[in-house]
Structures are given as C-alpha cells and as structure tokens.
Amino acid sequence: MEVKTAGSVGEIYRISGPLVVAEGLKAKMYDVCKVGEDGLMGEVVGIRGDKILIQVYEDTSGIRPGEKVVNTGMPLSVELGPGMLGTIYDGIQRPLPALKEASGDFIGRGIEAPGLDRKKKWAFKPTVKKGDKVKGGDIIGVVKETELIAEHRILVPPNVSGTITEIYEGDFTVEDTIAVLDNGMELKLYHKWPVRIPRPYVEKLPPEIPLITGQRILDTFFPVAKGGTAAIPGPFGSGKTVTQHQLAKWADAQIIVYIGCGERGNEMTEVLEEFPELKDPRTGRPLMERTILIANTSNMPVAAREASVYTGITIAEYFRDMGYDVAIQADSTSRWAEAMREISGRLEEMPGEEGYPAYLASRLAEFYERAGRVKTLSGHIGSVTVVGAVSPPGGDFSEPVTQNTLRIVKVFWALDAKLAARRHFPAINWLQSYSLYADVLRPWFEKNVAPDWGELRNWAMEVLQEEANLQEIVQLVGSDALPDAQRILLEVARMIREIFLIQYAYDPVDTYCPLEKQYDMLKGIKMINDWMFKALEMGKTVEEIINVPGKEKFARAKFEENYKPIMEEALEEIRKNLLGE
C-alpha cells in the first residue's frame, strides 16, 4: 500500500549548502518539500535511515536546524496549458516577470509563482461533444494562444479517460472547469505533469524529415531530422551560443523551447530583448510568439539548474502531444552535468570519472531519449528535436560529458576555436562533424529541393577532404609547387569555405538562407569548378583560371534577398572569362 506523504511534517537536521537533511519526515523519492520557515522549495533526492536528503532550489543561508519541513507529497511538476508561449521561466517554471514583481530586480527567496497566469481568460472552443468517449491525450478543444500558434489544443491528461457529460464553450481561466467526465472528473484548460517522467505516446516513428535551420553548413552538410538529437560541443568563444540562437530563431519547428542552463545572464537578456523584435521568416509574426524561455543563469541556485532541463523537455513533450514539431535547445548540458556533480558531491556519493556521478551517462541518455518523432495518444504526429550544447573544459572533447553525449546523439557539430580565431563563422569544423541522418534525409532533399542534392553535397565534402590532405603538402612546399589541377581544387575548396560555409549571423539577409538558395550557391560553385577544369584543358594558365574576374560578384550574391539575377550575371561573367563566348 502506498504511504501518504503529503502533509507530513519533519524537522531540519542538517544544512550543507543546497543540501538539507530532514528527520521525522515521511517522504518518497522526488517528493517536493517546503523547507524552513521561508518555505523554500526542495526535492527529496535520498533516504538514509530516518534521514531524508533534500536538494533545495533556493539559497539556504540563514536557515537553522530544527526548522520545519513540510512534504507536499507531489513530485516536481510543471503546469501545462495556455499561457506558456512568450514567457520566460526559471528552472522550476516560475515566471521571471512574476518574481520581479514579488522581489524586485534581484531574485528573493521562498516566492511562489504559478507557471500559468490564473487571471487571464482564454476563449475555449470545444471539438468534442457531450456523450463522446475520450481517453488520455485526446484533444477536447482549442484555444487561440498567439497569432503564430492559433491552435493551442487542450488535451485530456494522459492518465484520465471517460465519457464527457458536460462541456462548455466560452472564456475561461486555466482553473475553470471546461468539461466533466462520467466518473466525476473535472477537466480544466491545464493539467500538471511530473517533469522527470516522460509523457506517453503511441509509438516512435523513424526520422525522415529534416529540421530546416537556414544555416548552410547544417542543412546541406550535417542535417538534423525532426525528432532527432544533435550536440554542439566547443570551447568557450567558438560560437556555441550564437549557433543555438540561430537555431532558435530560424529552425522550422512550430515551437521552440530554449533552456539557458547555467549560462550568462546577459545572454538571456539578449534573447529577451531580441526575440520580440525578430520576425518569423514564414509568417512575419514576432518569434517570441512561438518561444518559451527557461533561464537559470549560472549564479542562480544549482538545484534548480539541474531541474531546468527536465522542465524544458516536459513542456516540449506537451506541445508535441498536440501534434506540433518542437525544437528544444539546451545551453549548456555541461552546466547541467556539473549541477549533478555538485549535488552528488554533497550527497557524498562515490564519484565516477572526473568527479561526475556514476549515473551521468544514463541521465544524459534518458534526456536525449525523450526526443523523437512520435504518433501521439490522439493519433497526431508530433516531434521533439533536441539540440544540446556541450562546453568541454579546455575544449577537450575526451572529457566525460562530451564523450557520453556523443555516444547517444546522431549529429555532431564540432566547433573549432581555430576557425573562430580566423573569424570563420559558424566555426563548425567540416571534417570532424557528422550527421548520421544525412543518408536517411537524402531522399527528402532530392524530392523537395533538387534531384542532384546528395551528389552535390558529396562532391563538396570530397573537395574539402582533398583540400585537407593537400594542405599538409602546401605547409611544406607552398601552393605554387602543386600541379595545376590541384591548385584549382584548392581554389574551389576556398570558395566552398569562404562563400558557402561562412555565413553571417548578423547580416539581415545572410542570417537565414533558404534551401533553394543553398542549393543554387553550391551548384554555382560546382559549375565554376567544371568550367575551370575545362579551361585548363583548353590551355589557359592556372593563374588566369584561379584569378578569374567575377568571383567577387558571385560571393556577394549571398547578401542579396533577390540573389538570382546577380548570381546569374556573375556566373555568366565567369563562364565567358574562362571559356570565351
């Protein structure tokens, strides 16, 4: 029989940083407790004899042994319903604007703030009627949440089913009853779900549709599938955060969940200030309307940082269950792993590699496994794509977090400090990175963009690989000593790097490159390549060929919205110069 733990009261025995030990308390693992006179929120992370170990989400200074601890009996949960889009939360789903209202510019302690606005009314339109049988995950109606997400679909909580006896249309707050089931269960616009338990679905589907990001190196070379997993490891200063921001801005998911996990305060502010100004390239609406931000900066309590990742993915799963494509960015999973390490250390657990807990690998795997393209309980298809940034100490990819992440994820975007130092952005190393989806997604690209997409991509990759081999020789003897054909190849590789791969995140046009333009650019370079080799056969000197006029104009086409006329003009000029009329 289950022991009732809700309402149980105990006493603090010991306080050591974010870890509080209580005694005389009835508790299950992961019960949420209110600790001390201030009622700080915490979560049970261990039980040793009669002592209960609680990790507290807020600063514990000033708390004394002997103060009371009250168990809520509930696991850490989030509120799922309309009103989340456009909001910024801390790691345990407290809206930061509400915290600011309660405690000013600095975050106070013991503040309770519900994740969803209790006063706001939403116009609810039922899509089922009296007498309909519903089961967990079914859609019973819709609410217009934002212009971008006009249909926030209201779901029956996954563990509830029955026949509808009452259902109402009209304006409701999230706490009003909108429907009643025959078993007496009242349904509301929201329900709660424990963050550490994945939400159920019918089945996982194979990933076969790419997540289009508008970033050339990602889409063309190392694509990620909707429902896939990707990792971006890189040393500091190599552009992880910019890449994550670019994905959050331009990825063609319907919902973006951005988790700032243990990162810089100013960077979250940047997102907050910038996103409402940015327009969705497809609909022209502010991007904030499809975005949920979770900000637990590095100086906010470490336990809440550990929880923030789960909070984020649970919210993502909720939107997936409505049949949406969701992309979640976790920046950075290393900070999350460090939070685990810190708490594990306080629990005096036996450490694994580099002091990380032995369960690091399984926790990372569990998290990434919550990604996927699924058939939802209501029969829709939705997906959660997870992109995790990794911040390896000293840029050393052999450290445990990077290694354990790479064992799980299918796409690896390796950031390179050397490229960053040369201001080659995005500083993604094309030789180290890989995408295991490239082959699965190839048919999609060939059907939807161009039939020779895969061929073109492989050609470009080969050129870059060949360039890397030649570079070693060039380092020794200089490029002038190479045979003519190889010198042309080096020039073509340079064009691929500098024209195609370098993409300016801060240029208003180049920041987002549609697939067609990506294809045209690469195709153009391939055409120039072919002409160059033909010109060589025709007896032109290699200097004439590699310095052919018109290249500069071709390079500038990427900064133009209407790039086609310029690109065609440039190509025509290059062709004439190489091959004559």
Partner 1 sequence: MGKEYKTITDIAGPLVFLEKTEPVAYGELVTITLPDGTTRRGQVLDTAKDFVVVQVFEGTRGLDKSCSVRFTGDVVKLNCSKDMLGRILSGSGDPIDGGPKIVPEERREIIGAAINPYARQYPREFIQTGISAIDGMNTLVRGQKLPIFSGSGLPHNDIALQIARQAKVRGTEEEFAIVFAAMGITYEEAHQFMKEFERTGALERAVVFLNLASDPAIERLITPRMALTAAEFLAYEYDYHILVILTDMTNYCEALREISAAREEVPGRRGYPGYMYTDLATIYERAGRIRGRKGTITQMPILTMPGDDITHPIPDLTGYITEGQIVLSRELHAKGIYPPIDVLPSLSRLMKEGIGKGMTREDHKEWNDQMYAAYAEGVDLRGLVAIVGEEALSERDRRYLKFADEFERRFVNQGKYEDRDIEYTLDLGWELLAILPEEELTKIRREYIEKYHPKYRKKKAEGEAEKAEAAA
| Contacts of partner 1 in 296-335 (CB under 8 A) | 297-300, 302, 335
Name 201's Cβ contacts closer than 8 Å, sequence gap at least 6: 137, 320, 321, 372, 374, 375, 376, 377
- Find the binding residues for partner 1 in span 510-549 (CB under 8 A): none
Query: Which candidate, 552, 486, 567, places its Cα nearest to that of 520?
Result: 567
The C-alpha atoms of residue 66 and residue 9 are separated, in whole angstroms, by 12
Shortest Å distance, C-beta 518 to partner 1 = 20
Shortest Å distance, C-beta 234 to partner 1 = 11
- Of the two residues 264 and 375, which places its CB atom closer to partner 1 in the complex? 264
- Of the two residues 379 and 393, which places its CB atom closer to partner 1 in the complex? 393
- Of the two residues 230 and 339, which places its CB atom closer to partner 1 in the complex? 339
For residue 172, what are its two tokens?
């409701």
- Find the binding residues for partner 1 in span 422-461 (CB under 8 A): 422-423
The reply to whether 396 sits near partner 1 by the rule CB under 8 A is yes
Shortest Å distance, C-beta 330 to partner 1 = 15
The C-alpha atoms of residue 293 and residue 288 are separated, in whole angstroms, by 9
The C-alpha atoms of residue 322 and residue 150 are separated, in whole angstroms, by 12
The reply to whether 97 sits near partner 1 by the rule CB under 8 A is yes
The reply to whether 268 sits near partner 1 by the rule CB under 8 A is yes
Question: Of the listed pieces 10-18, 41-49, 189-197, 508-516, which binds partner 1 according to CB under 8 A?
Answer: 10-18
The reply to whether 398 sits near partner 1 by the rule CB under 8 A is no
SS3 551: helix
Q: Is the peptide bond before 332 cis (omega within 30 degrees of 0)?
A: yes
Which segments within 222-290 are labelled E, that is strand?
Answer: 229-233, 255-261
DSSP string, 17-68: TTEEEEES----TTEEEEETTTTEEEEEEEEETTEEEEEESS--TT--TT-E
The reply to whether 355 sits near partner 1 by the rule CB under 8 A is yes
Number of residues that bind partner 1 (CB under 8 A): 74
The reply to whether 581 sits near partner 1 by the rule CB under 8 A is no
The C-alpha atoms of residue 300 and residue 92 are separated, in whole angstroms, by 12
User: Mask of contacts with partner 1, 245-264, x by CB under 8 A?
Assistant: ---------------x-x-x
- Find the binding residues for partner 1 in span 61-90 (CB under 8 A): 61-67, 88
- Of the two residues 534 and 553, which places its CB atom closer to partner 1 in the complex? 553
Query: Which candidate, 554, 432, 539, places its Cα nearest to that of 491?
Result: 554
Q: How many CB atoms lie within 10 A of CB 62?
A: 10
Give CA separation, 142 vs 126, 162, 478, in Å.
6, 19, 66
The reply to whether 49 sits near partner 1 by the rule CB under 8 A is no
- Of the two residues 127 and 298, which places its CB atom closer to partner 1 in the complex? 298
Of 175, 462, 498, 516, which lies in the binding site for partner 1, with binding defined by CB under 8 A?
A: 498
Of 73, 114, 136, 395, which lies in the binding site for partner 1, with binding defined by CB under 8 A?
A: 395
The reply to whether 37 sits near partner 1 by the rule CB under 8 A is no
The residue type at 425: F
Question: Of the listed pieces 75-83, 112-120, 203-211, 418-426, which binds partner 1 according to CB under 8 A?
Answer: 418-426
Sign of CA dihedral 199, 201, 204, 210: negative
- Find the binding residues for partner 1 in span 217-236 (CB under 8 A): 236
The reply to whether 393 sits near partner 1 by the rule CB under 8 A is yes
The C-alpha atoms of residue 311 and residue 315 are separated, in whole angstroms, by 6
- Of the two residues 294 and 440, which places its CB atom closer to partner 1 in the complex? 294
The reply to whether 59 sits near partner 1 by the rule CB under 8 A is yes
- Find the binding residues for partner 1 in span 137-156 (CB under 8 A): none
Whether 287 and 214 have beta carbons less than 8 Å apart is answered as no
- Of the two residues 164 and 302, which places its CB atom closer to partner 1 in the complex? 302
Question: Of the listed pieces 101-109, 187-195, 225-233, 401-409, which binds partner 1 according to CB under 8 A?
Answer: 101-109
Shortest Å distance, C-beta 46 to partner 1 = 16
> Which residues are 390's β-sheet partners?
233
- Of the two residues 269 and 432, which places its CB atom closer to partner 1 in the complex? 269
Of 3, 106, 472, 581, which lies in the binding site for partner 1, with binding defined by CB under 8 A?
A: 106
The reply to whether 342 sits near partner 1 by the rule CB under 8 A is yes
Q: Which helix (H) or strand (E) holds 174?
A: none
Name 363's Cβ contacts closer than 8 Å, sequence gap at least 6: 340
- Find the binding residues for partner 1 in span 468-487 (CB under 8 A): 475-480
